[in-house]
Structure 1
């Protein structure tokens, strides 16, 4: 006889089917917006450049640069250490205009 069987001797046997939770078949209420709120358009006082408003060329240069430095073991951006390809991609990224000049 093991120590575990001695500990479990005082416990009643588990009855099958009594441990399952009751399933609620009623549909749950869904949250919906009762009335639409019309807000005035926000005024944009100045142009703010970000990746969403950047030129496609800038985004492409950024993506090439970031995809390279994430996998290249020779490149380490925080210290400015790049392999030849990484240095070229970094200069393309820095020299590509983010905003289109109109």
Structure 2
């Protein structure tokens, strides 16, 4: 026995009411919501988005060259924007290359 059991001995047990027709509880009122389907905005973005899968081959080549360099170079530290001469050139080339084709 636990210490709490002696404290709860004087309380009657609680029994959940399982009947659905409780005369003391009124029937639930219907709630009204005013909206039209024309006013709802779409949940999903339908316009095309830019990603590496849809990027131009030139952008992917510039990105890969930049990332391969900064992963191997001990002088380059991208979070602080600190690059060696080659890394700075690759970063500038990566920034200049458009990700999407221009119409």
User: Shorter-chain TM-score: what band?
Assistant: 0.5 to 0.7
* CA displacement, residues 7-31 of structure 1 (integer Å, 9 cap, x when unaligned): xxxxxxxxxxxxxxxxxxxxxxxxx
In structure 2, stretches of 5+ residues that fail to align are 1-43
In structure 1, stretches of 5+ residues that fail to align are 1-42
1:22-41 to structure 2, matched below 5 A, reads: none
Backbone CA RMSD of aligned residues: 1.3
Structure 2 counterpart of 1:100: 101
- Aligned pair count reads 60
For normalisation by structure 2, the TM-score amounts to 0.56
Q: Which runs of structure 1 show a deviation greater than 3 angstroms over 4 or more consecutive aligned residues?
A: none
* CA displacement, residues 23-66 of structure 1 (integer Å, 9 cap, x when unaligned): xxxxxxxxxxxxxxxxxxxx862120000000000000000000
Q: 2 CA distance for matches of 1:74 and 1:66?
A: 14
